[in-house]
Structure 1
Amino acid sequence: MRFSNFLFPESRSPATDGAILDEVMQEIRLSEHLNFDAVWLGEHHFDGNCCYVDPITFSAAVAMATSRIRIGYAVAQTSLHHPIRLAEQLALIDHLSKGRLIVGLGRGTNYNVYDYEGFGIDPAEAQARFEEAEDIMLRAWTGEPLDHDGRFWQLKVPALRPGCYTRPHPFVIRSASGEASMVALAKQARPFLMSVQTNAVTRQRLSLYRQTMAGAGADEAGIAKVLDQCWAWRNVYVAGTDAEAEAVGIPAFIAMHEQRAAMRNRIAQERAVGMGQERPGMGNRIDPAQGLVCGSPATVAEQMSELAETGIGGVIITFRLGAMPYEVASESIRLFMSKVVPQMARPLAA
């Protein structure tokens, strides 16, 4: 199982944005130094919950500051972007990174309506825009002239320049927060990014994923190959003992989710607008018992080993929980790579 670091850094005030951005670059360099397989960037606007805001622009800086580590999006909110502009930007960053991109695409957040309002986009159109945009991007990356007459875009593109460094294009993966979207991707033999879930839910969903792929005609080798390209997301905090980890990690986790809910709750109260009901299981992710792996190296290694046994290819880990100081998060990161990962390489005590 591959290990990666998901950087979703919170900045509580505009006055701290610049300092937090500097710390994110430090964390990225640390991740490469410690031999993580990838760093992941998210996209979220207007509330400081993700201080770099635009993962596409930021990933260009990441590409130039690193040399080996892969760079993923978890996810780029495809519905908020013009597909040709996005295809151009990603082709350019594919060159700058020399083929290290993992292009995670999604329709965007399920319930922060202000992301869409700020860009003048009807949130009810989000999924349809996403589907049309992805199709345009894949066609544009062929390097052939593109004529497109769709619901949202009417385009005549002579040819995309530059072409992609990776042929035929960077690796593309979709998010699948719900079971239905995961099943739809399994029918197409497409890998997916899984949102935060317990190990029990992860096992159940991956079992369904395998069954669905087999029912669509995939053999065992094909299923294993696609599953190896899938990633699961976890929030992790490691300290010397379980008690030390819980004393820091649990309050940070709770405060992170309270902050993430603040803007959406305020807008819902002021204007009575939102994006409908939260998905089933969303409440579990804000419960530390369900959404946080927290403890000593031995405790965290046990949880990570259980995840590895599901056969999933990689884990996307958020180490810096909300407004947690960088120095605290970086120590957790170092402990994970120096103490947790080595324990996973040998059988754990019963």
Structure 2
Amino acid sequence: MLRFSNFLFPESRDPDRDAEVIADCVAEAKLCDELGVEVIWLAEHHFDGNCAYVDPVTFAAAILAATKRIKVGFAVAQVSLHHPMRLAEQMSLLDNLGKGRVIVGLGRGTAYNVYEYQGYGIDHAEAGERYEEAEGIMLKAWTSPQGFRHEGKHWTLNVPRLRPTPYTKPHPYLIRAASSEDGALHLARRGLPFLMNVQSLETTAKRLAAYRATMAEAGFGAAHIARCMDESWVWRNVVVADTDEEARRIGVPAFEAMQEHRKKLRERIYAEQGIIMKKETVPPARVNPDLALIAGSPATVAARMAEIEQTGVGGVICSFRLGPMPAEVAARSIRLFMENVAPRFTTAAVPAAAE
């Protein structure tokens, strides 16, 4: 049955308020732990205030220490910005600190924000190949008790053995992001679950149907396909209030302000440098609040979640705090969701490990 999680993706427009927003994030994670949310997902973005805590690896340790039950997932760690051995060590440490409560979500990094690569001195054109090589290194690091050698394009390594060894065997639970249909089908051919970005219900249903069909064509059986569907997650922006009118009054301006802020620095860099990674021809489901925002009373939101459940996906990643929305408003939305929406659905735990 459908499971629910919270994408802790807080905006901080004023650098002088960063500490306050970061403290709000810890409080939100503790609230979610108390209310029975299954996973807190963390983002990674740099230099623009779109993600106040910036470094999800460090912040995950704080969340694990402040909570007792909730899983902490990455949606996603921008692998191309990290040294793969350091990231493998850090994830293994988190896996031990949380006694298996970590979900290692991996992705290449942003497809749009060139300044994130510039700030780390990395050619954005290398992001994809760095990600592919790094993922392979991390898996070898977690599963090679005798150590290993690696000679690749970006790294030459002679690793005696990874320490600490992972708490979860054979390695921390791992999932990949797929922002496009091609990416989702690539993972389907490998027989792997995935994280989907914000899409309309129609696109979600079509993509998941294609994902299932591709997995079957690749030779995977019905039980494996069902497990991958159950372990996959779709992302939605969610605002719950007592009435539909109140939810839209709160949610729509916050959503629109969030979208405007997220492109501001990207557009400034383009104006100053004339550099653009990729023209952002986003689908309406990302920028249109009528498609990209689920805002309503508990009954309305539950009905929308039931529609998502019909696609066969296992879980929904809900973003509750949107843009400049005050922390207390997001907290009330989360409480209404967990007390009046989530109980209408049966929950189940994520498996302990997957390839």
Work out whether 1:85 is the aligned partner of 2:74.
no
Q: Quick check: 1:178–1:279 contact (8 Å CA) kept in 2?
A: no
Secondary structure in structure 2 of the residue aligned to 1:335: helix
Work out whether 1:254 is the aligned partner of 2:264.
no
Displacement of 1:3: 0.5
Find the partner of 2:192 among 190, 204, 207: 190
- Counterpart for residue 106 of structure 2: 105
Amino acid at match of 1:95: N
Q: Quick check: 2:11–2:49 contact (8 Å CA) kept in 1?
A: yes
Secondary structure in structure 2 of the residue aligned to 1:293: strand
Q: What is the TM-score normalised by the length of structure 1?
A: 0.96
- Counterpart for residue 168 of structure 1: 170
Find the partner of 2:228 among 216, 226, 250: 226
Runs of 4+ in 1 over 6 A off after TM superposition: none
Secondary structure in structure 2 of the residue aligned to 1:29: helix
CA distance in 2, matches of 1:342, 1:244: 22
Amino acid at match of 1:204: K
Secondary structure in structure 1 of the residue aligned to 2:325: coil
- Counterpart for residue 201 of structure 1: 203
Secondary structure in structure 2 of the residue aligned to 1:233: strand
Q: Quick check: 2:3–2:345 contact (8 Å CA) kept in 1?
A: no
CA distance in 1, matches of 2:146, 2:69: 31
CA distance in 1, matches of 2:249, 2:86: 45
How many residues were matched structurally? 344
Amino acid at match of 2:242: G
Amino acid at match of 1:148: H
Secondary structure in structure 1 of the residue aligned to 2:153: coil
CA RMSD across the alignment: 1.0
Displacement of 1:219: 1.6
Displacement of 1:278: 2.5
Which structure has the higher relative contact order (CA within 8 Å, separation 6+)? 2
Displacement of 1:277: 2.3
Q: Quick check: 2:107–2:131 contact (8 Å CA) kept in 1?
A: yes
Amino acid at match of 2:9: F
CA distance in 2, matches of 1:342, 1:31: 14
CA distance in 2, matches of 1:119, 1:82: 11
- The alignment-based identity, stated in percent, is 56
Q: Quick check: 2:74–2:106 contact (8 Å CA) kept in 1?
A: yes
- Counterpart for residue 241 of structure 2: 239
Displacement of 1:280: 5.2
CA distance in 2, matches of 1:39, 1:233: 13
CA distance in 1, matches of 2:238, 2:307: 14
Secondary structure in structure 2 of the residue aligned to 1:228: helix
Displacement of 1:296: 1.1
After superposition, residues 17-28 of structure 1 pair within 5 angstroms as 17-28=18-29
After superposition, residues 1-350 of structure 1 pair within 5 angstroms as 1-142=2-143, 143-278=145-280, 281=283, 283-344=284-345
- Counterpart for residue 349 of structure 2: none
Q: Quick check: 2:80–2:127 contact (8 Å CA) kept in 1?
A: yes
CA distance in 2, matches of 1:21, 1:208: 39
Displacement of 1:284: 2.9
CA distance in 1, matches of 2:150, 2:223: 37
Q: Quick check: 1:146–1:157 contact (8 Å CA) kept in 2?
A: yes
Secondary structure in structure 2 of the residue aligned to 1:240: coil
Unaligned ranges ≥5, structure 1: 346-350
Q: Quick check: 1:75–1:105 contact (8 Å CA) kept in 2?
A: yes
Amino acid at match of 2:217: G
Displacement of 1:344: 4.7
Amino acid at match of 1:30: L
Per-residue CA shift, 1:123-148, capped at 9, x if unaligned? Answer: 00000000000000000111331211
CA distance in 1, matches of 2:294, 2:310: 16
Q: What is the TM-score normalised by the length of structure 2?
A: 0.95
- Counterpart for residue 348 of structure 1: none
Displacement of 1:279: 5.5
CA distance in 1, matches of 2:285, 2:229: 24
